[in-house]
Amino acid sequence: MMLQKIFKTSTLALISTAALCSTLVTTSYAAEGQSERHKFEVTTVAEGLSFPWGIAFLPNGEALITEKSGSLRRVGLNGVISEPITGVPDVVYKSQGGLLDVALDPDFADNSWVYLSYSEADPEGGEGNSTAVARGKLFGNNLQDVEVIFRGAPKYKSNAHFGSRLAFSADGYLFITLGDRYSAMDDAQTLDNHHGKIVRIWPDGAIPEDNPFVNTEGALPEIWSYGHRNVQGAAMNPMTDELWTIEHGPKGGDEVNIPVAGGNYGWPVATYGVDYDGSIISEKTHVEGTLQPFYYWVPSIATSNAIFYTGSEFPAWQGDLLVSALKASKVARLDLQDGRMMHEEALFGDVVEQRIRDIEQGPDGAIYLITDDRNGKLLRITNADD
């Protein structure tokens, strides 16, 4: 990939509004690169975010960005970062835990609901924690009428593998992806807990009557699929309205799945990876009664999130699945044709120097990344074709 740095004049931005009131010095350079199908430019929109985790774009073009420490901020595309939005639930900020994903209600323009996933302490005072989802109505720089709509069970003493992404289907269901909590990996194969599961609920927390385990004795009725490790990515396929998920594997075995109702995706009895110390988790990659991934990586690229690209900024990427990665600081473009995987291309790895935690398509059709760092950045990827 051919790269060129383009130096620009630094800008000091100051906006004195209730929502955007902080100052920020924007970056002094951009970088150009050449992919197989497009030339692109990467610019830094904002920096100084503390381990950002999730992005959601507001109708006015601002980005809502979570910081793992527990802050939710507005970020203007002029680089200005707001003070923390008030009303955000308390989080357990340890290791992989904290404030995680953010999503807007499909009817946000009418109801103002914002959804947050986060690691929550045991409200009964125990030592355990779990992934929870809350929603609140966003007015200015405040969340109001905040309510918890989902709590992972059981509360478990671990600071790892919380998941979690939020995805709305076209028919209004909310999918929540979860992790196996690492040391409780065997729970991913049983239906009496949320470890290693994907759940499907209504936006108010109600359980759909057609969920696959509603009538299964001993099963939690919100479970949609199981046998997952640590699902940190989710995207709805705009062509089919199917949920596609990105599963963070161990050492090897990151997966792309298309979870079906009631499906068992094998973890930990079947995996393409080994444990981080090289020890064998399972000798099997296929087990009867479990489903295979649509695609997987060996070695791992440390997947984080994904989008189906639908914008006009990069017409040759339309319909492709773009998967962000932590380990290689890259985005894997999966070239999809009629639902089949044709080719993988590595994007942006020579330009982005930090781990990529999230990827989103902006309202302008550009691609936006946030980087997983103490000085996290919001990056914009635009077309630089001649």
Residue whose token pair is 């299964």: 216
H or E segment at 152?
none
In degrees and rounded to multiples of 5, residue 37 shows phi and psi of: -120, -20
Please give the torsion angle defined by the CA atoms of residues 208, 211, 148 and 187, in that order, rounded to the nearest 10 degrees.
Answer: 170
Q: Are 164 and 232 in contact (CB under 8 A)?
A: yes
- Furthest C-alpha separation in the chain: 64
Query: Among all residues, which ones are annotated catalytic?
Result: 161
Beta bridge partners of 73: 65
Residue whose token pair is 């807990």: 193
**What Cα–Cα distance (Å) separates residue 177 from each residue in 170, 273, 342, 386?**
17, 20, 27, 41
For residue 111, what is the DSSP state?
H
- Show the tokens assigned to 323: 């998967």
Count the neighbouring beta carbons within 10 Å of the beta carbon of residue 129: 23
